[in-house]
Amino acid sequence: MALDTDHANSSNFTDVNGHQIAWRSTGTGRPLLMLNRFRASMDDWDPALIGALARHHQVITFDSAGVAQSGGTVPETLEGAADIAMGLAKTIGLDKPNVLGWSMGGMTAQILAAKYGDEIGGVILAGTTPSFAIEGTVPVSNEWLGTATKEQNTPADMQFLFYADTDTSRAAGMASLERIGGGDAANGAASKTTMQTIAAQGAATRTFFFGEDGAFKKLGSISVPVLVANGDQDRAFAVENSVALVRTIPNAQLAIYPDAGHAFLFQHAEQFAKDVTEFLGSGFIANI
């Protein structure tokens, strides 16, 4: 079992495939390995979500190679990112961890589930997409991509990227930004990802988007329980893409959260954490 630390302030460092990987652990229970979004560091997880999950899980967050506190270079493919995630799990002694991947992390989690299914438990795919090579998917818009890849995002950018255009969702977004970074637009600024990191992650993600890595061809081989979750107004990856995942992955379950965008898991942190715990405990959410 991995060392339990103060999640907000203390990082551990472990060599994984020649990279010094920074990671944190909080809570007790079966390990839940968290795979983060594009250009985010550990500091960009909402404490409300981490705290809610940590009541029932040992929550492991980390910066992948070349990101924030971790050394090395960003992998050229998301399969490389999956290898680092699984390498970390093995190195720190996690026994068949469950996996939660958000956005880009959800793409990585798809690859991890297909490649390492015998070594993990259940998988949560949050606010993510399969390859756009799969029929019925909606490609991410140029407006969203252009905003996501700006050198620095303003609070207005963060609202556009992650929350629905409603009073309720905007208020939830403001509260989440305050929890994460004190309202600072550059939340996580002490370990902000560089433009080089952003470019490298973008290249790996584009390869996944257009099916050049062949990851989408392996979704049908996933045998672990999978929950696909999204906000009903995600500007990044439309609900249709979540439906495409559920159609393609055997026995996957779908959960859609109302009045919410890409960061539905922050807006609905308590309910989402409850659903994650129920799903990972039984392989099914009864009242959804």
Cβ atoms 271, 229 nearer than 8 A: no
User: Rounded to an integer, what distance in angstroms lies between the CA atom of residue 133 and that of residue 139?
Assistant: 10
What's the CATH number for 12-282? 3.40.50.1820
Element spanning 264, H or E: helix 264-267
Question: Which residue's entry shows tokens 């680092």?
Answer: 84
Going from N- to C-terminal start, the domains of the chain cover 12-282
User: Rounded to an integer, what distance in angstroms lies between the CA atom of residue 209 and that of residue 213?
Assistant: 9
Residue 202: count other Cβ atoms within 10 Å of its Cβ. 17
pLDDT tens track for 141-181? 999 999 999 988 999 999 999 999 999 999 999 999 999 98
Helical segments of 72-223, H only:
78-91, 104-115, 142-148, 155-162, 167-181, 195-209
* Strand duo 253-257 + 226-231: pairing: parallel
User: Rounded to an integer, what distance in angstroms lies between the CA atom of residue 186 and that of residue 46?
Assistant: 14
> Which amino acid, residue 18?
G
Provide the residue-wise pLDDT of the chain in tens; the chain has 288 residues. 344 444 555 899 999 999 999 999 999 999 999 999 999 999 999 999 999 999 999 999 999 999 999 999 999 999 999 999 999 999 999 999 999 999 999 999 999 999 999 999 999 999 999 999 999 999 999 999 999 999 889 999 999 999 999 999 999 999 999 999 864 444 444 456 788 899 999 999 999 999 888 888 999 999 999 999 999 999 999 999 999 999 999 989 999 999 999 999 999 999 999 999 999 998 777 666
